[in-house]
Chains A and B, each alone.
Chain A
Amino acid sequence: MKLLGAIFIICASTGIGFALARNLKERTKQLRDMKQAITSLEAEMVYTMTPLAEACHRVSQQVPSPVSTFFSTFSDALQKGESSAYQAWTKSLASLKAHSCLQQSDLDVILQFGASLGQQDLEQQQKQVKLTLSNIDRQELEASEKQKRSENMYKSLGFLGGLLMTIILI
């Protein structure tokens, strides 16, 4: 019985550690996805001149999960036409925040990009895209560094914490 409890505690805390580590890993991945999405959004806008809603819809089909849902909700909101692009962007960003592992600084960069969306001409827009991309690059670099540093730490800390708890409680 004691052994069972000990196993439970160790498993749970190890799980928590792994979840935290996965969070870090996911963040870099999602940042990369976001970068890719914005690049393709730029391509849509600059080369094929598709409207924003349509472009976002296409982009949402090219990238994996959390980022794609962000773009699809954004394009849906635009197509319904019930609010401005910035409002729709903010709203879908809020839902992205709940479902992704991105941190506030990453979201700020994306929000900044959304503020300029659909307000300026193509050239300005392109500049904006470049700025955002470099910002995201920076975030990604930071995230990957943090991942490298902390991923192992979270994993081992989770396991060791569970071990400590069982040793003390036994």
Chain B
Amino acid sequence: MNYDVNLIFQIAGVGIVVAMIHTVLKQMGKEEIAHWVTLLAFVIVLYMVVNVVDDLFQTIRSVFLFQN
């Protein structure tokens, strides 16, 4: 379990902060910017998650499918 568990808190933190930014911007009537911000943050987090998923698939391949 030496994996980077901090990434969980990072993702959750980004989610919360982006939600707050979204709320603030929406309240001020700048919904377009709010959506862009959310999308950008989503892409960043998605990038992190995809990296980890890639790691997972490589692990499964090397353990079960005998390919390296």
Contact = CB atoms under 8 A, between A and B. Distances in A.
Find out whether A and B make contact in their complex, taking CB atoms under 8 A apart as touching. yes
Contact of B14 (A149, A153, A156, A167): A167
Given A167-B10, A168-B10, A168-B44, A160 B27 contact: no
* Number of chain B interface residues as a range: 10 to 19
B10 A164 contact: no
B25 A153 contact: yes
Main secondary structure of the interface of A (DSSP, over half): helix
A161 interface: yes
A150 interface: yes
Interface residues of A, number: 13
A164 B21 CA distance: 9
A1 interface: no
A163 B17 contact: yes
A159 to B, nearest CB: 9
A157 B18 CA distance: 10
Contacts of A3: none
B17 A150 contact: no
A164 B24 contact: no
Nearest to A163: B17
A170 B10 contact: yes
Interface of A: 149-150, 152-153, 156-157, 160-161, 163-164, 167-168, 170
16 contacts: A149-B28, A149-B29, A152-B24, A157-B21, A160-B20, A161-B21, A163-B13, A163-B17, A164-B21, A164-B41, A167-B14, A168-B10, A168-B41, A168-B44, A170-B6, A170-B10
Given A163-B17, A164-B18, A168-B14, 19 more contacts: A149-B28, A150-B28, A152-B24, A153-B27, A153-B28, A156-B20, A157-B24, A157-B25, A160-B17, A160-B21, A160-B24, A161-B21, A163-B13, A164-B21, A167-B10, A167-B17, A168-B41, A170-B6, A170-B10
